[in-house]
Amino acid sequence: MLDTLRQIVGHVGRARDLDAALKAIVHGVRDALEVAVSSVYLLPRTQVGRPDARLVLMANEGLAAEAVGHVSMGLDEGLVGLVAQRAEPLNLDNAPLHPRYKHIANIGEEAYHAFLGAPILLRGEVLGVLVVQDREPRHFSDDQESFLVTLAAQLASSIIQAEISEAVMVPTGTSSRQLSRAAEPLRGVPGASGVAFGVAVVMYPLADLEGVPDRVCDDPQQELQRLRVAREAVRKDFALLRQSMASRVTEEECALFDAFAMMLDSESLLQGMERRILAGQWAPSALRDTVREYAAVFAGMDDDYLRQRGDDVRDLGSRILEHLQDVEGLELDYPPRTILVGREITVTHLASVPEGRLAGIVSARGSSSSHVALLARALGVPAVMGATDLPVERLDGRELFLDGYRGAVHVEPQGVLREALERLVGEEAQLSAELATLRDEPAITPDGVSVHLYVNVGLLADMAPADNVGAEGIGLYRTEIPFQVRDNFPGEDEQARVYREVLAAYAPRPAVLRTLDVGGDKPLSYFPIIEDNPFLGWRGMRLTLDHPDIFLTQVRAMLTANVGLDNLRILLPMISGVGELDEALELIARARDELREEGLPIGEVPVGVMIEVPSAVYQIDALAKRVDFLSVGTNDLTQYLLAVDRNNARVAPLYDSLHPSVLRALAEIVAGGRRANCPVSVCGELAGDPLGALVLLGFGIGSLSMSAGSLPRIKRVIRSVPLEHASRLAHAALDCERGEDVRQLLRDALRSYGLGSLVRSDADV
């Protein structure tokens, strides 16, 4: 049964559209369970979660063919509706005797008595129902029921993926029904606020067949030549591999490379690729589709040895793709309003886009607090993260509309929808123009309390937008980003040059430089860290304390860069206790003393600690008395307090920096800072959220650091809301039991001051 499950799921995953996926399901289930009827009912995407939704028969084997697409029933109708309504399986030996049985004429259902239905669920929502029926009255066995339930659970995401892929394929002459489906947005989580139209440029990893986007070729003969060159390069690879292994393995084992070479010359494989290229596909997608086709054939075979040959076909395809990418040189064209799209957009992808051309980001992986989202906010472009069902390969070159407030992506919006989205872009531009007038105004509340507003930056390119919004300094410079865009660790002199530019750009205003914080969702390609749970592993100060050479080099570079400027502040990340802090402070003192011995005039530099680990909250008094300032990293603090991996789309809705537990931790940190007379600032993304800034103001936090794009909005909040009112709101928020209640409380308060446009919601579109 397990092999059968894998085969069916594999067929569905490789299906090119929803219809093919559903046919694979009903055929596979009917054969596996040896039943007379197999059916799939689905809810239209727009009706999922609605009580008036109707389940539509989308695929079937065993009933009248004309029933598909025409038979439907509500959640309160029939046995299929009952399965969906209860969201649990139903196993009946004589279905017509059940009070919820509903006879549907002219489809041939009356001949079947045994009934087994299982709900298709994704993240708690019913998407449809998988049904089998048989002629003779009988109770399906526990094994058969388990098989159907397990299959339904595994198929949910594959069905959604196939449905979305079909929805974004909207050719000329599309029917109104297809257009209405295509108008449904792709969903993710908000990564960076803002709205934008742009053209998708798909980024895909090297040799990743499944990440290859669809593209039309202008010159099929040129694509065929590229394919020939790539195939010959792979042939040479196999010859060299065989030669290098000849002295280490037997001739029989070396013959495996000959088998790969024979597969490379397979006429059917070659013809499949050539046929697709001549039909207009570029070589990489022609290769991808041909490999999928042949791998699926092998996967469907009963013999285990032959099934494994599907892996060989995929391996061969990846090797050809690698050389195709060498041939094409990976030169991408970035249009004036580029929207980067990919399964996982990285920092290096952002750095590759020419300045002024990036309009937005859509990533299948990541969350609102992943590194790319933080950079998007710094660059002032909208981002949608965690769009797990994103049909990446279908989007290259398509016009997209990004809604960073709601985490929605519209593909080539038309008609009334387009007009509404264009109005939204206009309103956003007007709001930005209004906020720009606040650039030189102080961040002072109506009752006279000043708040210091700083910016978070990571690239030198961030400096200009940060300066344009009237920031008072740098509240967080992420030093890991220059490390990430290089191929090796930068040396002390190179680091010192970078830090000098950063410090000089803001002198005499303060600049907080955080020491290297890699690991978790911030890897270095040249220093791989492979762990089962990287967020709880070797990252931040844990890593650099284990490699004091890295830490000392960086601190020396910072101190050297500060000579004559004297605006440096050093921030230590991921401190979980006083032991780590004491060790770090000793190393900083050592670096300072070494440089003084070398003749450099190194003065005393303020050192702070990031409070982002729950244990640090409970040691706040001990930590605060050892440092010059505290900076709260609300992103990681929220993640660790709520036990939520912020990059996991399945639990992303649970990640909430306004959760009452997070707010109470913040209140404790502020109280600890006051007891030690140690100033507290917030540099997490909560500081750049108008709702979050309101509650932080109420806690009495006098310094906030955020992305440059968020600063004007936060300044407007501060200049509009008296501290006395913000304080009452903060205390009321501490009494709330749910994050949604806190959010509603703060949203209502902002609207009462005429600031509703700063926090858009679904109702605004």
Report DSSP letters for 287-321, one per residue: HHHHHHHHHHHHHT-SSHHHHHHHHHHHHHHHHHH
683 is catalytic: yes
The per-residue pLDDT for 615 is 96
Burial degree of 175 (CB within 10 A; 0-12, 13-18, 19+): exposed
The per-residue pLDDT for 676 is 97
What is the reported pTM? 0.65
Residue type, 372: V
The per-residue pLDDT for 343 is 86
Dist. CA 516–CA 98, nearest whole Å: 65
Task: Name the active-site residue from 410, 683, 725, 736.
Answer: 683
The per-residue pLDDT for 530 is 58
- Name the 3-class secondary structure at 592: helix
As a residue count, the chain comes to 765
Task: Name the active-site residue from 11, 323, 349, 371.
Answer: 371
Of the candidates 612, 626, 734, the one whose C-alpha atom is nearest the C-alpha of residue 673 is 626
* Alpha-helix residue ranges (DSSP H) falling in 525-597: 541-546, 548-561, 578-597
Instruction: Say how many Å lie between the first and final Cα of the chain, rounded.
Output: 48
The per-residue pLDDT for 74 is 92
561 Cα distance to chain centroid: 36
Pick the CATH number of 441-754 from 3.30.360.10, 3.60.130.10, 3.20.20.60, 3.40.50.12780: 3.20.20.60
| Cα–Cα separations (whole angstroms), residue 167 to 33, 136, 190, 701, 762 | 31, 40, 22, 47, 21
Q: What is the gyration radius of the CA atoms in the chain, in angstroms? A: 30
Q: Identify the bridge partners of residue 126 per DSSP, sorted by sequence position.
A: 121
> What's the mean pLDDT when you consider all of the chain?
85
DSSP 281: B
| Cβ neighbours for 719, distance < 8 A, ≥ 6 positions apart | 438, 441, 443, 444, 445, 446
The per-residue pLDDT for 543 is 84
254 is catalytic: no
The two beta strands, 607-611 and 114-122, are unpaired
Dist. CA 371–CA 347, nearest whole Å: 8
CATH fourth-level superfamily of 2-167: GAF domain (3.30.450.40)
- Name the 3-class secondary structure at 615: helix
Q: Can you say whether the dihedral through the CA atoms of 214, 215, 221, 222 is positive or negative?
A: negative
Q: What is the pLDDT of residues 316-329, one digit of tens each?
A: 888 888 888 765 54
Q: What is the pLDDT of residues 678-709, one digit of tens each?
A: 999 999 889 999 999 999 999 999 999 998 88
| Cβ neighbours for 368, distance < 8 A, ≥ 6 positions apart | 189, 190, 191, 385, 646, 652, 655, 685
Domain 182-434 falls in which CATH fold? Enzyme I; Chain A, domain 2 (1.10.274)
Of the candidates 609, 519, 606, 597, the one whose C-alpha atom is nearest the C-alpha of residue 558 is 606
The per-residue pLDDT for 88 is 93
The per-residue pLDDT for 181 is 40
Query: 424 with 764: CB under 8 angstroms?
Result: yes
Q: Which residues of the chain have pLDDT under 70?
A: 1-2, 13-16, 157, 160-183, 205-207, 241, 244-260, 300-309, 311, 326-331, 347-348, 369, 371, 459-467, 484-487, 519-535, 537-538, 647, 649, 760-765
Domain boundaries, the chain: 2-167, 182-434, 441-754
| Cβ neighbours for 748, distance < 8 A, ≥ 6 positions apart | none
Dist. CA 322–CA 532, nearest whole Å: 28
* Secondary structure element (H or E) that encloses residue 154, with its range: helix 142-167
Query: 473 with 511: CB under 8 angstroms?
Result: yes
The per-residue pLDDT for 173 is 37
